[in-house]
Amino acid sequence: MFVLVNLKAYPCDPVAVAAAASEVAEEYDASIAVAPQAAHLGAVTETGAATWAQHVSPVEHGSHTGSTLAEAAADAGAEGTLLNHSEQRLKLADIDASLDAAERADLDTVVCANNPDQIAAAAALGPDAVAVEPPELIGTGTPVSQADPDIVTNAVEAAADVDPSVDVYCGAGISTGEDVVAAGDLGADGVLLASGVVKADDPRAALEALVEPL
């Protein structure tokens, strides 16, 4: 199971969280990545943690002030990028263009979506993975695998019907190892989470609790 920790814009020490993720990943032979703010990509990469951008813009080199250029994210050490998170929605054409940008920069990609129908549309664009995240559950501590497991199983089926090579991740409310195991039991290949680790009193302990049952 792949665990992607999105630091969002929370008031945390991104280097400390990333260092803990790197240590836990090595100790438990787990696949853990951290997605910090763009300005912190380089510092997070230096911890040895697998590092993802929170977003890359649907642009090429040129006059695009304020954009997150995929090549710049890659140069800073990013291995992949989130796209279309519910807090950074994109039009379908922009998702496609951001995927092209990520491909140019050799970044792995996961496209977020709200429901199985959107998962199917996202999978058709050819990302490496899609992630189903009902926005009403984000940050609640109630995992989608518990609140509405059919969303996860239907998302897995929807993606497989379009392109079986696209992995499916489960997000929204993930905070415990039981949540991660439940997501896997429903067919998910990984999980996205944020507050369960970033807001924890001890992020390392929270990460250990996530991967220990795997």
Domain limits for position 137: 2-211
The pLDDT of residue 171: 83
User: How far apart are the C-alpha atoms of 172 and 48, rounded to whole Å?
Assistant: 26
The pLDDT of residue 134: 74
pLDDT digit string, tens, across residues 179-202: 899 899 999 999 999 989 999 999
**CATH assignment at residue 20:** 3.20.20.70
State yes or no: pLDDT of 105 exceeds 70: yes
The pLDDT of residue 85: 94
Q: Which of 26, 64, 85, 87 is catalytic?
A: 85
Count: domains in the chain: 1
Query: Does 40 qualify as catalytic in the annotation?
Result: no
Q: What angle (nearest 5°) sits at the alpha carbon of residue 122, between those of residues 37 and 195?
A: 35
* Percent of the chain clearing pLDDT 70 (strictly above): 93
The pLDDT of residue 69: 97
Q: Which of 40, 133, 157, 178 is catalytic?
A: 133
pLDDT digit string, tens, across residues 15-29: 999 999 999 999 999
User: How high does pLDDT run on average in the chain?
Assistant: 93
Query: Does 133 qualify as catalytic in the annotation?
Result: yes
The residue with tokens 């790197």 is 22
Q: Which residue blocks in 55-141 are alpha helix, DSSP H?
A: 70-75, 92-104, 116-123
The pLDDT of residue 147: 66
User: Distances in Å between the alpha carbon of 4 and those of 24, 58, 170?
Assistant: 13, 22, 10
The pLDDT of residue 12: 94
**pLDDT-based confidence at residue 173 (cuts at 50, 70, 90):** confident
Beta strands in 28-134 (DSSP E): 31-35, 50-53, 80-83, 108-113, 129-132
pLDDT digit string, tens, across residues 111-156: 999 899 999 999 999 999 999 987 665 655 666 666 678 888 999 9
Query: Which residue did the predictor score with more confidence, 58 or 135?
Result: 58
Q: Tell me which residue of 99, 213, 113 sits closest to 154, measured CA to CA.
A: 113
The pLDDT of residue 142: 66
Report if pTM > 0.95: no
User: How far apart are the C-alpha atoms of 39 and 207, rounded to whole Å?
Assistant: 23
